[in-house]
Amino acid sequence: MQLISKFSRSGLMLLLILLIMLPFLISSSYLTHIVTLILLWSFVATAWAYMARFGMVSLGHGVFLGIGAYFPTLMFNYWGVTPWIGIFVGLVVAIVIAAILGYTCFRFGLLGDYFALVTLAVAEVSALVIMALREITGGSLGYTLRSTGRLADMQFADKRVFYFMALILLIGAMYIWRRIDKSPVRLALTAIEESEIAAASLGVSVIRYKMMITLLSAALTALGGSLYAQYVTYVSPDTIAGVGVSLSVCFKAILGGMFAVLGPFVGSAIIVSLEEYVRISLGTSFLGLSQIIFGVSLLLMIIFMPRGIMGSMSMAVAKRLNRISARH
Amino acid sequence: MLNVQDLDVFYGEFQAIDNVALKIEKGQTVIVVGPNGAGKSTLLRTIAGLLPPRRGTISFEGQRIDRMEAYHVVENGISLVPEGGRVFPHLSVLDNLKVGSYNKAARAKAQQWMKRIFELFPVLSNRKTQRAGSLSGGERQMLAIARSLMSQPRLIMLDEPSLGLAPLVVDMVFEFVLTMKQEGYTVLLVEQNANKALKVADYAYLIESGKLVFEGRSEDFDKNPYIKTAYLGI
């Protein structure tokens, strides 16, 4: 086991160095754009997996993405409030919504499928709210961020700034993930997942721990939504709120493996690249093909590799090492 | 030590506990017997703070606990071994025990306490790193009890510890209840297996459809003709 952790640690360092140097190595701003998207979605998928890996599968993280994306954008366009403050407001709103939602679900003991269904409904509601407030939000046509190009408005001439912001956020999210793993919180949340009654009767405050991880997950997701909106300077209920994007976040984490710290990153890298590839090579001639590919591959994944790519890989490596050490 | 008075508990419209009163003195082993669905588990869950009572009071060592959250009740010295044990199957034996010492008071002394637990349960100390899901039924029940003891309770409540276990293992569990008694624990035991439970009890209660129908010492139970035929099979 020690060997594996040493191995994965040096692998992580190598990946990190590569990601830091990448924007300087490649001159294509298109490629940098793709990797920025990968980093952004990895960050969001990692935040989603904070909850999912302890059995709280949310199909409604689009709500928090939407809040994070829309609040700073609208506040800037209407009131001229700098996104540096707007992001903070979005963050607070997301935390409040998550607290209301989470507390309601956990108080009444909604678990597993039921929890997932409630969150799914909430995601749908978030898209409907955006459409209903058409006058303000632009409805389903979306809304474009006013361009000023000023640093104070979080707009940068060099788009690579966003790349590094996304990278820092992702590293931060992975660091917190590791810290959770090493803290008693992991034990408490695992115990809660396996039996809430047993955990509660042993003195684990079930609601407190579930709320903690939910608020953390929602806050980081909102932050991801904010950064996405500032980066692409366009928000719409299809791309950053509602059911579709909620599910696509889950897909990324599940594909890569939601129990491994690198899983959501690997999943996002595969899906974002594949989406781009399909979009470019087929153009508009076969709309929806990428969705079909994802649908089928997700189905196969869940049946044959329920722990995702990273989960299955680490299990295979562990088996291999066991066999080697057994031989000696 | 524990004093339950005029307790009513409802699941929606259904009344599971109807005006139950119960008293336990320090160091006693008290049992609650009764048929399936009589409300025995409900009673324990209510004391543990997992269910809110609609009416009545529960006090422990002079303090009201009937409106407390479950984790708070544990901090105050009451611990419940839920029905079927409910060990955490994917956690190791050691991690299961660690969850047991999660409350603030217990965490400080968890290390020494763990040693003590392993002396009491030598079977578990050989299986520290094994997943709890891979243990046998009896070992799991032992782990569930050990895990509850990790919270350093003064009152330990056992919900049907003999459920689903082989006869030989059931004897082991009851022997352990006696050991706990000798160790000075106050024990509240809920059982369908009235015969065996009465042998270890200082005082017993009989519950039928949520109502208290009889109480007394083991001898009183043995003498009562109704209980004899209905529960002891004599």
- Predicted confidence at residue A13, as pLDDT, reads 84
Phi, psi of A103 (to 5 degrees): -60, -45
Which of A1-15, A257-271, B20-34, B174-188 has the lowest average pLDDT?
A: A1-15
Q: Does B133 reach chain A within 8 Å, measured CB to CB?
A: no
From CA A213, how far away is CA A106, in angstroms rounded?
12
Residues of B in contact with A109 (CB under 8 A): none
Q: Does A201 reach chain B within 8 Å, measured CB to CB?
A: yes
Q: Does A203 reach chain B within 8 Å, measured CB to CB?
A: yes
| Total tally of structural domains belonging to chain B | 1
The model's pTM is 0.87
Provide the residue ranges of all domains of chain A, joining segments of one domain with +.
2-20+29-327
Asked if B151 and A203 come within 8 Å (Cβ–Cβ), the reply is: yes
**Residue A58 Cα, gap to closest chain B Cα (Å):** 22
From CA B81, how far away is CA A222, in angstroms rounded?
40
Over residues B179-183, mean pLDDT: 87
Pairing of strands B78-81, A234-235: unpaired
Is B217's pLDDT higher than 70?
A: yes
- Predicted confidence at residue A275, as pLDDT, reads 84
- Predicted confidence at residue A101, as pLDDT, reads 94
Kindly state the DSSP code that residue B13 receives in the 8-state scheme: T
Among the partner residues B69, B86, B89, nearest to A197 by beta-carbon distance? B86
Residues of A in contact with B11 (CB under 8 A): none
Closest CA to A30 of A170, A159, A165: A159
From CA A79, how far away is CA A73, in angstroms rounded?
10
DSSP symbols for B21-64: EEEE-TT-EEEEE--TTSSHHHHHHHHTTSS--SEEEEEETTEE
Asked if A204 and B99 come within 8 Å (Cβ–Cβ), the reply is: yes
Helical ranges in A53-205 per DSSP H: 62-79, 83-107, 112-132, 134-137, 160-182, 184-194, 196-201
Among the partner residues B71, B79, B151, nearest to A205 by beta-carbon distance? B71
Residue B114: CATH number of its domain: 3.40.50.300
Asked if B147 and A202 come within 8 Å (Cβ–Cβ), the reply is: yes
- Predicted confidence at residue B25, as pLDDT, reads 93
Pairing of strands B2-11, B55-60: antiparallel
Q: Work out the number of other CB atoms within 10 angstroms of the CB of residue A30.
A: 8
Structural domain boundaries enclosing B153: 2-232
For residue B190, give the amino acid letter: V
Asked if A203 and B75 come within 8 Å (Cβ–Cβ), the reply is: yes
**Residue A192 Cα, gap to closest chain B Cα (Å):** 9
From CA A222, how far away is CA A43, in angstroms rounded?
11
Asked if A201 and B148 come within 8 Å (Cβ–Cβ), the reply is: yes
**Residue B228 Cα, gap to closest chain A Cα (Å):** 34
From CA B229, how far away is CA B222, in angstroms rounded?
10
Per-residue model confidence as pLDDT tens for chain A (328 residues): 455 566 677 878 888 888 888 888 887 888 899 999 999 999 999 999 999 999 999 999 999 999 999 999 999 988 988 889 999 999 999 999 999 999 999 988 888 889 999 999 999 999 899 988 888 888 888 888 888 877 777 888 788 899 999 999 999 999 999 999 998 899 999 999 999 989 998 989 999 999 999 999 999 999 999 999 999 988 888 888 888 889 989 989 988 888 988 899 999 999 899 888 888 877 666 767 777 777 787 788 778 887 888 888 888 877 777 777 666 5
Asked if B88 and A188 come within 8 Å (Cβ–Cβ), the reply is: no
Q: Does B110 reach chain A within 8 Å, measured CB to CB?
A: no
Asked if A187 and B74 come within 8 Å (Cβ–Cβ), the reply is: no
From CA A209, how far away is CA B121, in angstroms rounded?
30
H or E stretch at B14: strand B14-24
Window 77-106 of B: residues touching A by CB (8 A cutoff) are 79-82, 86-91, 95, 98-100, 102-103, 106
Q: Residues B159, B164, B170, B172: is their CA dihedral positive or negative?
A: negative
- Predicted confidence at residue A295, as pLDDT, reads 78
Asked if A203 and B103 come within 8 Å (Cβ–Cβ), the reply is: yes
- Predicted confidence at residue A5, as pLDDT, reads 64
Closest CA to B72 of B58, B84, B55, B54: B58
pLDDT digits (tens, 9 = 90+) for B110-165: 888 888 888 888 888 889 899 999 998 888 998 999 999 999 899 999 999 888 88
> What is the rounded end-to-end Cα distance, in angstroms, of chain A?
16
Instruction: Supply B201's token pair.
Output: 């009890």
Residue A236 Cα distances to A72, A112, A232, B134, B183, angstroms: 14, 29, 11, 50, 66
Instruction: Supply A269's token pair.
Output: 């890298």
CATH architecture of A2-20+29-327: Orthogonal Bundle (1.10)
Beta bridge partners of B190: B32, B159
What is the residue-averaged pLDDT of chain B? 89
Residues of A in contact with B148 (CB under 8 A): 201-202
Q: Does A306 reach chain B within 8 Å, measured CB to CB?
A: no
Dmax (CA) of chain A? 72
- Predicted confidence at residue A176, as pLDDT, reads 95
Interface mutation vs chain A, best among B71, B81, B141, most A CBs within 10 Å: B71
- Greatest mean pLDDT among A52-56, B166-170, B189-193 lies in A52-56
Q: Does A199 reach chain B within 8 Å, measured CB to CB?
A: yes
**Residue B105 Cα, gap to closest chain A Cα (Å):** 10
Asked if A200 and B91 come within 8 Å (Cβ–Cβ), the reply is: no
Residues of A in contact with B50 (CB under 8 A): 197, 200-201
Q: Work out the number of other CB atoms within 10 angstroms of the CB of residue A285.
A: 7
Among the partner residues A188, A191, A200, nearest to B70 by beta-carbon distance? A200
